[in-house]
Amino acid sequence: MSIDIGNGEAVSLSPGGGAKGYVQQTSRHFPGEVLIAHNERDRGLFDIYHVNVANGESILVEKNDGFFGFFTDQHFQVRFAKRYTDDGEVEILKRNGNGAWETVSHIPTEDSLTTRPIECNDDGEELYWIDSRGRDTAAAVAENLKSGAVRVLAEDPQVDIDALLLDPQMMQPIAAASLFDRTRWQVLDPEYRQDFETLAEQFSGDLVFNGMSDDRRKIIVAHIHDKRPLEYHCYDRASRKTRKLFSAQSRLEGAPLASMESVVVLTKVDAWSCLIRHGATL
């Protein structure tokens, strides 16, 4: 649904009648439009539509002939399709010069939960991945779509890179995050290094970056703190100041919440451990 904040009028962006849908892509190049995927035609397949958010008018962009998903870019072009092979691998396909789908990459079953394409840069020449193929931990990498060359943007020897923050204009990498005992941000663009240092000084908890204005002046961050409810703040890059927007659970503000600390236990072999419930047997 899209809702006019002036009069509250709601417009449906996907069909009803039991059909499921989700937002496939948004882009600054199409401020009043969005790509929506829904399964009205076939409950087992999601087609992609170009939808006007003001009036709900839609145009079919890609009819799904057997894929579990598609990858689209900032110019609303369908770049890749994804499907499972008989042995559980993920097959990545793109259209050749004749318009037929051909395989360009595979994601092995053991990497399927930790390998995924994130976004193309604005000119469509690079594709950013979180990729664990051939690695102990997943890294953020950039693939040149013309040459196929891959370069590592960020990696963590202890845990997977699990998030990549991109510039809203050119879709270039700003920072990458991994989570061990706490969230770790690796700054990739020197232009933003001071911003991360300032935010680290102002907030003692972990930060999640939820959005940035098109002019790159303001950033919406979520502050995850052990003794306070989740808070959302607006950070001004020019003044280096933050303004609290709201708390996710205002009734917990001021409540005596318990302090939490991460604990790292040294072992001969890195592993996860858990507490055994009283009375349980192994």
Q: Write the DSSP symbol of residue 91.
A: E
Q: Write the DSSP symbol of residue 142.
A: E
CB 48 within 8 A of CB 24: yes
Reported pTM: 0.88
Determine the pLDDT at residue 202. Answer: 96
Q: Write the DSSP symbol of residue 125.
A: S
Length of the chain: 282
CB 141 within 8 A of CB 151: yes
pLDDT above 50: residue 165: yes
179 is written with which tokens? 């989570």
- 274 contacts: CB under 8 Å, gap ≥ 6: none
Question: What CA–CA distance (Å, rounded) separates 218 from 199?
Answer: 13
pLDDT above 80: residue 271: no
Question: What CA–CA distance (Å, rounded) separates 219 from 92?
Answer: 33
Weakest-pLDDT range from 114-123, 192-201, 203-212, 269-278 = 269-278
- 24 contacts: CB under 8 Å, gap ≥ 6: 34, 35, 36, 37, 48, 70, 72
Cα torsion angle, 82, 83, 85, 90, sign: positive
CB 171 within 8 A of CB 119: yes
pLDDT above 70: residue 277: no
Question: What CA–CA distance (Å, rounded) separates 118 from 121?
Answer: 10
Query: Across residues 39-60, what is the average pLDDT?
Result: 97
Q: For the segment 166-187, what is each residue's pLDDT rounded down to a tens digit? A: 999 999 999 999 999 999 999 9
For residue 138, which of 174, 121, 163 has the smallest C-alpha distance? 163
Query: Across residues 50-59, what is the average pLDDT?
Result: 96
- 234 contacts: CB under 8 Å, gap ≥ 6: 218, 219, 220, 242, 243, 245
Query: Across residues 103-126, what is the average pLDDT?
Result: 96
pLDDT above 60: residue 273: no
Report residue 84 CA to chain centroid gap: 21
pLDDT above 80: residue 280: no
CB 82 within 8 A of CB 90: yes
Q: For the segment 229-267, what is each residue's pLDDT rounded down to a tens digit? A: 999 999 999 999 999 999 999 999 888 888 888 888 887
Determine the pLDDT at residue 188. Answer: 98
